[in-house]
Amino acid sequence: MTAYLFRRLLLMIPTIFGILCVNFAVLRLQSMSLTEAMSAGSGESVGERKVGAGGWALESKIDRFRRTGNDLPALINTYGFLTKESVVAWLRSTAPNAGTKDSVRNQREKQLWLVGTFAVHPLAEVLSDSALADLHGPASQALALCAYTSIEAWDLNRLSGKRIQQIQARNRTLRTLVIAYRQTPGQPFSTADEHAAEKRAALVALVADPENAADFNRSGKWSALVTKTGFYDFLRRLATGDLWSESRKEGAFSVIAQYWQTTLVLNLLSIGLAWAIAVPLGIHSARRANSLEDHVTTNVLFLLWSLPSFFVGTLFLHYFCTSTASGAPWFPNKGLSSPDNLWFSTPRFLVDLLWHGFLPMLTLSYASFVSLSRYLRGNLLEQFNADYVRTARAKGVNEQAIVNRHAFRNSSLTLITLSSGLLAELFGGVLIVEMIFSINGLGFLLLDAARQNDAPLVMASTVVSVGLLLVGILVADVLYAVVDPRIRSRYG
Amino acid sequence: MNGFKVAFLSLIAGLLLYVVIDQWRRPEQMGAMSRSFAEMAEASRAQTDELRKVRLALEARPVAAALTPSVAPSVAPSVASGVPTNVGSGAAVTPTAQVPETPATSVQPVPSTVVPAPTLDGVAKLGVEFMKPMDRSYIIAAHLGGTLRMISSTPKGLNPLLSSDAFTSEIQENCNDSLATHTSADPEAWFSQLAESAIISDDYKTYTFKLRKGVHWQVPAIAERPEFTWLRDVHELTSEDFAFALQLVLDPKVDCEHLRGYYQDLDRVETPDPYTLRLIWKKKVYTSLSFSLGAAPLPKHIYGRNKDGSIIPDNQVAVVFNKHWFDDERGVCGVGEFRLVEFTADKVARLRRSTDYWSTPSMHFDTIEYNFEIKQPDAMLVAFKNGQVHLTGLPPLKYKSEVLDRKEPRFAAADPANPKAGRSGEFGWEAAKRQAFSYIGWNARRPVFADTKTRQAMTYAFPKERIIRDIYMGLGQPILSDVHPDSSAYNSALKPLDFDLDQAKRLLAEAGWTDSDGDGLLDRVVAGNRIPFKFVVKYYANSPEWDNTLHIYRTELKRIGIEMEAVPQEWKELIRVYEDRDFDAVVGSWQMGFDLDFYQLWHSSQIDAPGGSNHCAFADPEVDTLAVQLREEFDLEKRLVIAKRIQQRIHDLQPYTFFMSPKSIFAWQNRAPAGSTERNRYLAGVEWGLDHLHPLKNRSPLSWYFPQ
């Protein structure tokens, strides 16, 4: 039994890892690029009128990207190997005469801004080469942003006051040293700054300053190949629990801590309900197989099965949870308990919970009990034709005992196997049901986070629901072993 | 025997579960109990405060009445400090006005230190006082009180600088005040609020404010907790609090680029003394007016301190501010009419009238409750029907099914002749205008739309009225320019290019479009090439209304020999389309701001500027000059002349086919809650609110009242 459990637990690791990979890939593809964040920040996305151009405060955008680990390349970070030549080629590809679309140029330009300290030295080399005069403007802009060092609230305890002042002073200086440049469509960049020479010299001097050497060195480029990547960062934050939710301004896991129990309770109750309906229904159908009654139930249940839960949920909401001109609704329309439930006695609290939870549970579980009861019926019919049932009947065992003690026990293996699959379905369904019945659970949180573009919170809540799901599957596996002696004997 | 065993075991399990649930609920119950004790204590403290004020007022009354006017000034300060709510500053008030009223009748207007004179029309002028004194005459004392319940969504934090969502700004509007205020109905007229006087000098570059004295910061709700006892001290509002806020806005480290853009031309802030604030701008720009007068203070005694009350070093304030402990505690502190007493994410936020507000009430309600639990549109409607919230919005499709198709008999039937017909049902409803507009933009870079006549013909072929009626269920107001027709700056001389296919055909012929090859499609020669009149219009994919609108438009265009293809685009893709100007025509919409500005949309410098909004490459030298002029002009008359001229020019050149400004349906409860059958209980208060306000002003239910 222990060996069996251990084996099951080990199997979970690749599962979790695979899910994390898929999760990460989807969110990476969906997440905002710096260009989009910039146009969203300037009010463009909501069609809002803005006063004046400029004032985009790129630094705070970059801070936000760094806080969520979104500035790093996804899997491999080769930025440590950037050379002057490759940076020149990169800068040239962002020029208005590069022959590519503006969106592509913008994308490349913003990508360079996110490279960070690895690009500082190559950019300084570009700036010190007077033959590359056309690139000095964009190079100074990129250098100012790559050399910019974020200071977050948690750095205040980590770094000394003197060091913080030094970094802040450097950040301020960098802002003033950007060389203004023109982008005329179809032509290369051109410098439009009378102080270009001084700014250039100051930037090169700033990079060469021994005081800054430690911040801009490239010694960690080999380890950065793997460790300075989005995926590594995601795993690290997941392991240490500091995924940061931008929309709630709180750690993602401390947000989830307030939500996960509701979902778990709802799902467990739904499974309970599904079994409580499916088992009697299945047995009943099997015993009256091929009668008119059986045909009618089968057809009705299949009809039910084909209705999607969001549709059924909305119907429930509109017909059973809405007051009409003539009276109050039958069921409450939101939450899992009444607003003043805190002062209820425990029995009343439980009744209130059932009253609130009934429709959400039904919506979640009707698809499951339909399929469960059909599988059970089929399996029971098979058992009824088996030799041991015939023997029992011949012995004169009563029908009740045959069904309950012999046939059903064998069929319950199927039920348990199916339950773990149903659990996965429930975690999907809970998204919609929680939204329709306004229940503050994980699904509710997940959809809200997705709506607010909060990738870390989406990641964290998916991981937590996957964790819950895996625990559920584990429980099903254990039950399987408990019910089936063959498994127990196989693992000793 | 077996059945008995099972029953016994499940009984034991049930009992265990019962005990576990019982124990699990206990700490929460205890917490709630101690919270409600704290609330009771607070209420009794407020009551004591109130009594103290009454006593002070009673004590002061015979003294003040007996004194001769020459002695009065020496008494005034003591009275003023004792009764901060009712007396502004003692200096210019006549002795009779100085006798404090009993606070119970706090509906009386604040005795203003500025003597109302005809020059105080609220329109900004150089070198003189101009702000109107606050007008609270609309408040009906008998209707003060009551609770308003609304649906809202959990905000991203509550920090006034860091969060830009609608909810945070609404909370700030209710819990904090600014130097002066204006309404969208008449944005040029300013009413004094925290600033007693404002003088503009140095060619509209320097703003000098004298602050009201005796305004105190609210004590935040978390001060009840033992670790925050230091928050219970009362602090007076000073110019430092404004300077603190503005310095944070200007600091690049603070996460508020949405505000920083507006203040980028602010040079410096000076605070010569605690009641004087001076803002100095680098150059003369019209927006400096609303952003100087509209500046709101930030409590330095909270945001400048650590959680234990120690002062944060100056160079760290900006860094700490992004993740300040006060925001983690969901605290709100202002000098406004309401204070936040409860906030639970995804559950509820509750505002209650502040007991020591410096002015008389500007709203009737005592409590405002925001419900965050409901996010799904259907669930919102159901919560409204069940009486859990007082109001809701109806999207066009729901409006059609619930109201027009009479699916919900409790809504009154619509009557095209009477826009107020919806008010009388058990659920009242009405259409409200919104300050936004939608349009189809023609890319002038493409040879097809490079000339004015073709663009005019496109507008003539667009059956605007019919589409609004059939597809938007009448929920829109046709517009002709990017200024709302109800605004005072709107040029009413614009002649609409109403749907007329013959006129469109004539204009197209004049523009050189003919069907030379007889394929039913117009064509013309551009730069030696014969091009057919075919184009693609791109629009946001998530809009069934636009699917239908463009379908109708395509049918009409086909009749005059033009082929249009409508391509829906996802949001990310649409951003790219704008970036690359990769469209022949595009559907879009803009919000209309408070301040008139034509630079962003129409100035030719914004065609190729990175992030520029002139997507359609509209270029007209006259509009360029006028748009720049308007940004620097402060004289109202001249501003209106310029704005109207620009509108005329844009209308003549038709860079957009302006479509409509949408209306939205909002519905409210007329029935008293909790199963009462009393009809039209709230109607009087709601109707008063609706008819009291200018049609363009956001019909905020906050200005209604519920008859007691």
Instruction: Calculate helix-pair angle for A196-208, A120-128, nearest 10 degrees.
Output: 140
pLDDT more than 90, % of chain A: 4
Residue B75 belongs to some domain of the structure: yes
Give the one of A55, A63, A440 whose C-beta lies nearest to B260's C-beta.
A55
- List pLDDT tens digits, range B221-243: 888 888 888 888 889 999 999 99
* Of A97-106, B275-284, B376-385, B541-550, minimum mean pLDDT range: A97-106
Q: Are A356 and A337 in contact (CB under 8 A)?
A: yes
User: Nearest CA to B197 among B295, B276, B281?
Assistant: B276
**Span B356-360, average pLDDT:** 86
- Quote the pTM value: 0.80
Residue B640 belongs to some domain of the structure: yes
Q: Is the pLDDT of residue B47 over 80?
A: no
Q: Are residue B273 and residue B331 in the same domain, yes or no?
A: yes
- List pLDDT tens digits, range B579-617: 788 899 999 888 887 778 888 889 888 887 766 788 888
- Say how many domains are in chain B: 4
Name every chain B residue with its beta carbon within 8 A of the beta carbon of A357: none
3-state SS class at B388: coil
* Of A102-106, B91-95, B312-316, B546-550, minimum mean pLDDT range: B91-95
Q: Are residue B195 and residue B243 in the same domain, yes or no?
A: yes
Q: Is the pLDDT of residue A51 over 50?
A: no
Residue predicted with more confidence, B257 or B17: B17
Of all helices (H) and strands (E), which one includes residue B72? helix B72-82
The residues facing A472 across adjacent strands are none
Q: Are residue B328 and residue B467 in the same domain, yes or no?
A: no
The type of residue at B196 is: E
Residue A46's pLDDT is 40
Give the one of A54, A322, A325 whose C-beta lies nearest to B382's C-beta.
A322
Question: How big is the A-B interface in CB pairs under 8 Å?
Answer: 198
Q: Chain A, 151-170: which have a CB under 8 Å from a chain B CB?
A: 151-153, 155-156, 161, 164-165, 168
Q: Quick one: tokens of B445?
A: 């870079």
Q: Is the pLDDT of residue B659 over 90?
A: yes
* Structural domains in chain A plus CATH codes: 76-228 (no CATH), 260-440 (1.10.3720.10)
- List pLDDT tens digits, range B536-563: 999 988 888 899 999 999 999 999 999 9
Q: Is the pLDDT of residue A5 over 80?
A: yes
Q: Chain A, 4-63: which have a CB under 8 Å from a chain B CB?
A: 35-36, 38-39, 41-57, 59-61, 63
Residue A35's pLDDT is 74
Residue B612's pLDDT is 75
- List pLDDT tens digits, range A400-454: 888 888 888 888 888 887 877 777 778 888 888 999 999 988 888 888 888 877 8
Among A101, A249, A326, A440, most B C-beta atoms within 10 A, so best to mutate, is A249
**Span B57-61, average pLDDT:** 64
In angstroms, the CA B648 to CA B645 distance is 5
Beta strands in B434-553 (DSSP E): 436-442, 476-478, 523-526, 529-532, 534-540
Residue B17's pLDDT band, with cuts at 50, 70 and 90, is: confident
DSSP letter at B592 equals: P
Q: Are residue B523 and residue B578 in the same domain, yes or no?
A: yes
Measured between CB atoms, does A322 come within 8 Å of chain B?
Answer: yes
The 3-state secondary structure of B501-521, one letter per residue = HHHHHHHHHHCCCECCCCCCC
In angstroms, the CA B615 to CA A20 distance is 41
Residue B95's pLDDT is 33
What residues have CB less than 8 Å from A235, skipping those under 6 apart? A20
- List pLDDT tens digits, range B677-692: 555 667 667 776 776 6
Q: State how far residue A471 is from chain B, nearest Cα, in angstroms.
A: 21
B613 and A322 in contact by Cβ < 8 A? no
Residue B74's pLDDT is 34
Q: Are residue B175 and residue B266 in the same domain, yes or no?
A: yes
Residue A212's pLDDT band, with cuts at 50, 70 and 90, is: confident
User: Nearest CA to A60 among A255, A250, A246, A240?
Assistant: A246
In angstroms, the CA B445 to CA B618 distance is 9
Q: Are residue B653 and residue B685 in the same domain, yes or no?
A: no
Q: Is the pLDDT of residue B702 over 80?
A: no
CATH of the domain at B646: 3.10.105.10
Residue B673's pLDDT is 53
Residue B707's pLDDT is 67
For every residue of B598-643, DSSP letters joined together read -HHHH-GGGTTSTT-S-TT----HHHHHHHHHHHH---HHHHHHHH
Closest alpha carbon within chain B to A345: B22
For every residue of B2-21, DSSP letters joined together read HHHHHHHHHHHHHHHHHHHH
Q: Find the domain containing B330 and state its range.
A: 155-336
What residues have CB less than 8 Å from A289, skipping those under 6 apart? A377, A381
In angstroms, the CA B653 to CA B315 distance is 53
Residue B188 belongs to some domain of the structure: yes
Residue B101's pLDDT is 36
Q: Are residue B398 and residue B304 in the same domain, yes or no?
A: no
- List pLDDT tens digits, range A256-305: 998 888 888 888 888 888 888 888 888 888 888 888 988 998 898 888 88
Q: Quick one: tokens of B679?
A: 């009809």
Q: Are residue B538 and residue B423 in the same domain, yes or no?
A: no
Q: What is the helix, strand, coil percentage profile of chain B, to 5?
A: 40, 20, 40
Residue A417's pLDDT is 79
Q: Is the pLDDT of residue B410 over 80?
A: yes
Evaluated on CA atoms B155, B159, B163, B169, the torsion sign reads positive
Measured between CB atoms, does B632 come within 8 Å of chain A?
Answer: no
The type of residue at A119 is: A
DSSP letter at B444 equals: T
Residue B97's pLDDT is 33
Q: Quick one: tokens of B550?
A: 């463009």
In angstroms, the CA A146 to CA A114 distance is 7
Give the number of residues written for chain B: 708
Name every chain B residue with its beta carbon within 8 A of the beta carbon of A248: 156-157, 345
**Span B442-452, average pLDDT:** 91
Boundary residue ending a domain (B67, B87, B107): B87
According to the per-residue pLDDT averaged within each range, which of A3-7, A93-97, B243-247 is highest? Answer: B243-247
Name every chain A residue with its beta carbon within 8 A of the beta carbon of B257: 41, 55-57, 60-61
pLDDT more than 70, % of chain B: 86
Q: Are B455 and B548 in contact (CB under 8 A)?
A: no
Query: How high is the mean pLDDT of chain B?
Result: 82
Q: Is the pLDDT of residue B180 over 60?
A: yes
Residue B184's pLDDT band, with cuts at 50, 70 and 90, is: low
Give the one of A55, A155, A437 whose C-beta lies nearest to B264's C-beta.
A55
Q: Are residue B563 and residue B699 in the same domain, yes or no?
A: no
Name every chain B residue with its beta carbon within 8 A of the beta carbon of A102: 579-581
- List pLDDT tens digits, range A128-138: 888 888 888 88
Q: State how far residue B346 is from chain A, nearest Cα, in angstroms.
A: 7
Give the one of A321, A436, A452 whose C-beta lies nearest to B376's C-beta.
A436
Q: Are residue B181 and residue B73 in the same domain, yes or no?
A: no
Query: How high is the mean pLDDT of chain A?
Result: 83
**In the Cβ-directed half-sphere of A196, how many Cα atoms lie within 13 Å?**
19
| ipTM of predicted assembly, 2 dp | 0.81
The backbone region for B528, taken as left when phi is positive above 0, alpha when psi lies in -120 to 50, beta otherwise, is left
CA distances from B408 to B160, B381, B398, B469, B672 (A): 40, 11, 11, 22, 18
Q: Is the pLDDT of residue A17 over 90?
A: no
The backbone region for B353, taken as left when phi is positive above 0, alpha when psi lies in -120 to 50, beta otherwise, is beta
Residue B607 belongs to some domain of the structure: yes
Residue B572 belongs to some domain of the structure: yes
Q: Is the pLDDT of residue B368 over 70?
A: yes
Characterize the bridge pairing of strands B266-273 and B276-281.
antiparallel
Q: Is the pLDDT of residue A157 over 90?
A: no
The backbone region for B157, taken as left when phi is positive above 0, alpha when psi lies in -120 to 50, beta otherwise, is left
Q: Is the pLDDT of residue B464 over 50?
A: yes
Q: Are residue B410 and residue B489 in the same domain, yes or no?
A: no
Residue A395: Cβ-neighbour burial (10 angstroms; 0-12, 13-18, 19+): exposed
The type of residue at B342 is: E
Residue A399's pLDDT is 83
Residue B510's pLDDT is 92
- List pLDDT tens digits, range B617-637: 899 999 999 999 998 888 888
Residue B506: Cβ-neighbour burial (10 angstroms; 0-12, 13-18, 19+): middle
Residue B649 belongs to some domain of the structure: yes
End-to-end alpha carbon distance in chain A: 7
Closest alpha carbon within chain A to B31: A342
Residue B695's pLDDT band, with cuts at 50, 70 and 90, is: low
C-alpha R_g of chain B: 30
The 3-state secondary structure of chain A, one letter per residue = CHHHHHHHHHHHHHHHHHHHHHHHHHHHHHCCCHHHHHHHHCCCCCCCCCCCCCCCCHHHHHHHHHHCCCCCCCCCCCHHHCCHHHHHHHHHHCCCCCCCCHHHHHHHHHHHHCCCHHHHHHHHHHHHCHHHHHHHHHHHHHHHHHCCCCCCCCHHHHCCHHHHHHHHHHHHHHHHCCCCEECCCCCCCEECCCCHHHHHHHHHHHHHCHHHHHHHCCCCHHHHHHHCCHHHHHHHHHHHCCCEECCCCEEHHHHHCCCHHHHHHHHHHHHHHHHHHHHHHHHHHHHCCCCHHHHHHHHHHHHHHCCCHHHHHHHHHHHHCCCECCECCCCCCCCCCCCCHHHCCHHHHHHHHHHHHHHHHHHHHHHHHHHHHHHHHHHHHHHHCCHHHHHHHHHCCCHHHHHHHHHHHHHHHHHHHHHHHHHHHHHHHHHHHHHHCCCCCHHHHHHHHHHCCCHHHHHHHHHHHHHHHHHHHHHHHHHHHHHCHHHHHHCC
* Of A213-222, A227-236, B263-272, minimum mean pLDDT range: A213-222
In angstroms, the CA A260 to CA A468 distance is 9
Q: Are residue B607 and residue B684 in the same domain, yes or no?
A: no
For every residue of B242-258, DSSP letters joined together read HHHHHHHHH-TTSS-HH
CATH of the domain at B325: 3.90.76.10
The residues facing A327 across adjacent strands are A324
- List pLDDT tens digits, range A385-405: 888 888 988 988 888 888 888
**Span B40-69, average pLDDT:** 65
Q: Are B152 and B391 in contact (CB under 8 A)?
A: no
Measured between CB atoms, does B287 come within 8 Å of chain A?
Answer: yes
Residue B461's pLDDT is 94
Beta strands in B15-168 (DSSP E): 147-151
Characterize the bridge pairing of strands B367-371 and A181-182.
unpaired
